[in-house]
Amino acid sequence: MTQQESGIGLKPEVVDIFARGLYHLASVDGIDQSEVSLIEEFLDETNADMTITDLERSGFDPREAAEVLETRAMRHIFVRTAIALVKADGVWSEAEIDALGNLAETLGLSIADFCRLELEASQMSITG
């Protein structure tokens, strides 16, 4: 592991985008404790220097995510993880669907890509 990578091999700017993006998407319809727990687990596993309180104060712009998440694979991982996270509380709200759709569009994902990632996320088992 280099100093520039997290505990799971992600660059700090990728960890930052993932954390801020996941928090933003989870909070679209009111953040649930299960979502907070999963984000805290991510922060712990990546040795991030930020907390949930930091994320509460931060913003998120999908255009920034498009700049930082340069590869198609990384964009897919992010969207699939975000879908699984927002579904973790058992609620798949219209606001979350809209926010995720906007994110996917900004990242250049097709509707078919999004649908496939949603199916894959539905099969993931993430619990807090």
pLDDT for position 2: 38
Measure the CA–CA gap between 69 and 116, rounded to whole angstroms.
19
Reported as a pLDDT band with limits 50, 70 and 90, residue 125 is low
What domains can be seen in the chain, in order of their start residue?
Answer: 12-123 (1.10.3680.10)
Measure the CA–CA gap between 66 and 107, rounded to whole angstroms.
5
Instruction: List, for residues 53-99, the tens digit of each pLDDT value.
Output: 999 999 999 999 999 999 999 999 999 999 989 888 787 889 999 99
Amino acid at 37: S
CA 121 to chain centre: 12
Instruction: Give the chain's mean pLDDT.
Output: 88
Percent share of the chain, pLDDT over 90: 68
pTM: 0.86
Exposure letters 86-100 (e unless 16+ CB within 10 A, then b):
bbbbeeeeeebbebb
Measure the CA–CA gap between 55 and 85, rounded to whole angstroms.
16
